[in-house]
Amino acid sequence: MTDMPEKRATGCAGRLSLKDPALLRDLAHIGGRWEAAFDQTTFTVGDPATGEAVGEVANCSARESAGAVDAAQRAFAGWAARTPQERAAPLRRWFELMTRHREDLARIMTAEQGKPLSEARGEIDYAAAFLEFYAEEAKRPNIEGVTSHLPDAEVELWREPVGVAALVTPWNFPSAMITRKAGAALAAGCTTVVHPSAETPFSALALAELATRAGLPAGVFNVVTGDAATVVEPWLDDVRVRALSFTGSTEIGKLLYRRSAATVKRLVLELGGHAPFIAFADCDLDQAVDEAIKAKFATTGQDCLGANRFFIERSIVDEFCRRFTERARALTIGPGFEDRDLGPLMNERAVAKQEEHVRDALDRGARLLCGGRRHEAGPLFFEATVLADVPAQALIFREETFGPVAAIAPFDTEEEVLARANDTEYG
């Protein structure tokens, strides 16, 4: 590591109209200090809505990655030795600080991730709630009595922190996925090293700033920015990293699973999803359409829990399509700071995937009811799209779309739709 004067992206903070510019940090947070990369390199974080730079962030190397584990390991014994109440107190203060700085945190998120400001505010509430929950969960007894197979014997299960936990988080929920993972680990007495997506590091660094203000000791919560392979790979081989929590693609999850085997890490993997949405003929159709719109188009469809495949009973499929398409056409599209319904997709790869899935479905006989192309708001915006009569062989029914494209198909029987809903390699 190299010591650097405290540095903040003050220029961008002004453009974002932050009440507290100190929340916009551009250095890694390691061992309670703000650290530049040893070679002083940085990478650019862009606003997907405009293409403009949000700022430059430290491009950390394996050196800083190892330094974060060093710091977390040094802090572990002291943090684990604290009483549950002593661990809960800074988590509670962290929650309160997130609530107090809700607007600034939301504006930072919208700038780097692109989601509408109203959704960003909602995510900050959601993220803060994890800290509130785990602050209370930390106080629960960690000893459980179990019936013994021996006479006159008693068995007690003691839950102990395992050590350093590595947390690898995605760009689509850049605050909530950190607090969900870190809140649990810290409440248990573990220390953490965090790698946020290189596309949304500012949200993670703002959380690190508030964690410090909340009183988390140096080394308990470390954030290392930069290329994922460079930062995370050393953690996979480090025996001091006893647990790994990852949210991201199934492909990368499989890689982490294999690589973690040699050091027998505890793993929590939240990978890709391909959720079905099923509407039967006796449903409340208005409510079904309302729920379908939310399930598909929240976060511009960039949600691993969002619905991708819509199975509608044949007797109501035409009316469902009519109402659903009408609602989809009415969704507004634009930059997140204009607080439209749909923001941009994260990058060009994401837009190209929408185009590929739409083209493939149409080539296989699907009907385009609305959308299907890029939106005039900018190169990373895509229209809310509805496809009907999508065949089972279409890519959009086989792969996670991760965008604002809804694929609809009719079904006739409960047995048929359950078989089709489960006909996927995704969990």
Residues annotated catalytic, as ranges: 270, 304
Handedness of CA 134, 228, 235, 214 (dihedral sign): negative
Q: Which residues of 80-103 are buried (b: 16+ CB within 10 A; e: fewer)?
A: bebebeebbbbbbbbbbbbeebbb
What are the structure tokens assigned to 350, written together? 């994401």
Selection from 209, 228, 213, 223 nearest residue 29 by Cα: 223
Q: What is the DSSP string of 265-332?
A: -EEEEE----EEEEE-TTS-HHHHHHHHHHHHHGGGG--TTSEEEEEEEHHHHHHHHHHHHHHHHH--
DSSP E strands in 120-273: the ranges are 143-146, 155-158, 164-168, 191-195, 221-223, 241-247, 266-270
- CA 418, 421, 426, 427: dihedral to nearest 10 degrees? -40
Length of the chain: 427
CB 156 within 8 A of CB 234: no
